[in-house]
Amino acid sequence: MYQQNSFNGADLPAKTLCLTFDDGPGIHTLAIARFLFENHIRATFFVVGKYAFHQPEILKELKEMGHLIGNHTYDHPDLPYYVSVNGDVINQVLRTDAIIKPFVDSGQIYFRAPYGKWSAEVAQELNRSMLTANHIGPIHWEIAGVDCYYWQNNWAVEDAAARYLSDIELNNQRGIVVFHDEIADMDVVKPHNKTLDLLKILIPQLLEQGYQFVRLDEIIPIKTASAEKPKFTLRIGKEKCVSLKNDTDLNCEGKPENPQNLLCLEELGFGKIAIKAANNLYLSSAEIEIKANRAVIGETETFDLIPVDKNKIMLRCYDGNYVGIEKGKLTKKAPHMRQAAIFSYANHNHMITDDIAWEQRLLLLKKQLLFVRSKLQQKI
């Protein structure tokens, strides 16, 4: 699920950093990953799908070294603007998912927005799809990743390292740090990327000062979100949804706002899912009528998830029959797709709209100020 407010590392203990790398994979990615590995640091690489597509061998090696691979969209668009011109943001993340999933163990996909640009509208749009329900994001940062601008302006590596050190100090010696192992959108700067040399100066100094490094999934709010299974309702029309009735029966008469009607999604890979109802039992097609009556997932508890539109889906049972609706009940009496029920998927978040917290506004402001400061210094 996508949050309106970004995840960050503000609550990390003192002298604790989480290193992240954006825009790869590229020619420097593996050298950076190996240098970190040799220093027992496990980082997260937010990759751009159009680069990752041609270089799966890099993703494989990143994973083998214990680094995480996250989603940074396919084409690296400015998402708030992209949404405003009807760009298909769901497609941007799903195309990258398809490339990185073989190299992601947890089932959760960590997401970072290009340039850190985010809006409530982007979150809402991405949350429309059941296929992005296992996403955790957006992941923001505290220590600004402007290494690419240093290289654009021919900064010396030593000066860039000093700036990162001072930014870390300014941020109370903790947080998520952004670097760029590759540079999207600025092809002319790519050959000047010196982030590996920067790390070779920075990391020994940080280690000497007693800094610890954690992987992204060790940050408590991110770890907590990762452990939660996505919750949703399956709507029929605008007012009704699939609902638990009696102990294990399901009907289509429920009210979406009733927490008892929340379902829990488990992705099984290969386009298959299992669905757990509020009684903690899985939906099963073992009988003609679909019921929530199984404690474990076997073949009758797996369903093919077939997307129809951004937020609409069909479900197909293990035996090839589709889930249909007959007399207000879910059944598998639908051998042909044209007989299948089309459900509207509604992420639990659709019912919760958080205001942006003041702390979050301050963090964003601070990041913008750091960015402006670095741009001003470039001009001196």
Look-up of token digits 């069909």: 314
Contact 36, 144 (CB under 8 A): no
Residue 324: φ, ψ to 5°: -120, 180
Q: Supply 378's token pair.
A: 């470039």
Nearer CB in complex with Zn ion: 22/181: 22
Contact 343, 315 (CB under 8 A): yes
Interatomic CA distance for residues 270 and 137, integer angstroms:
23
Nearer CB in complex with Zn ion: 23/167: 23
Closest separation between CB of residue 145 and Zn ion, Å?
8
Nearer CB in complex with Zn ion: 125/182: 182
* Cα 359 versus chain centre, distance: 22
Nearer CB in complex with Zn ion: 25/114: 114
According to the binding rule CB under 5 A, does residue 147 interact with Zn ion?
no
According to the binding rule CB under 5 A, does residue 22 interact with Zn ion?
yes
Closest separation between CB of residue 50 and Zn ion, Å?
12
Closest separation between CB of residue 146 and Zn ion, Å?
12
Residue 79: φ, ψ to 5°: -65, -45
Q: In this chain, which stretch among 16-24, 139-147, 170-178, 337-345 interacts with Zn ion, using CB under 5 A?
A: 16-24
Interatomic CA distance for residues 156 and 147, integer angstroms:
11
Nearer CB in complex with Zn ion: 112/348: 112
Closest separation between CB of residue 300 and Zn ion, Å?
44
**Binding string, residues 95-134; x marks residues near Zn ion by CB under 5 A:** -------------------x--------------------
Nearer CB in complex with Zn ion: 119/248: 119
The letter for the amino acid at 305 is L
Interatomic CA distance for residues 315 and 242, integer angstroms:
13
Using the rule CB under 5 A, which residue among 9, 12, 23, 281 binds Zn ion? 23
What's the order of all strands across the beta sheet hosting 109-110?
2-7, 135-139, 109-110
Contact 176, 143 (CB under 8 A): yes
According to the binding rule CB under 5 A, does residue 182 interact with Zn ion?
no
Closest separation between CB of residue 119 and Zn ion, Å?
17
Binding site for Zn ion (CB under 5 A): 22-23, 114
